Amino acid sequence: MSATTPTSKAQFRLRIYRDTSIAIGPGKVDLLEAIAQTGSISAAARQLGMSYRRAWVLVDEMNRALVSPVVTTVAGGVQGGGTALSPLGEKLVRHYRAVEEAARTAAAADIAALQDLLAP
Three-state secondary structure string covering the chain: CCCCCCCCCCCCCCCEEECCEEEECHHHHHHHHHHHHHCCHHHHHHHHCCCHHHHHHHHHHHHHHCCCCCEEEECCCCCCCEEEECHHHHHHHHHHHHHHHHHHHHCHHHHHHHHHCCCC
Q: What is the pTM of this model?
A: 0.86
- How does pLDDT run across 11-67, given as a tens digit for each residue? 889 999 999 999 999 999 999 999 999 999 999 999 999 999 999 999 999 999 999
Query: In which band, very low, low, confident or very high, does the pLDDT at 7 lie, cut at 50, 70 and 90?
Result: confident
Going from N- to C-terminal start, the domains of the chain cover 17-116
- Please say if the pLDDT value at position 1 is more than 90: no
Q: Which CATH number fits domain 17-116: 3.40.920.10, 2.40.10.230, 1.10.10.10, 2.60.200.30?
A: 1.10.10.10
Residue 74: is its pLDDT beyond 90?
Answer: no
Per residue in 79-99, pLDDT tens? Answer: 667 899 999 999 999 999 999
pLDDT for residue 6 is more than 80: no
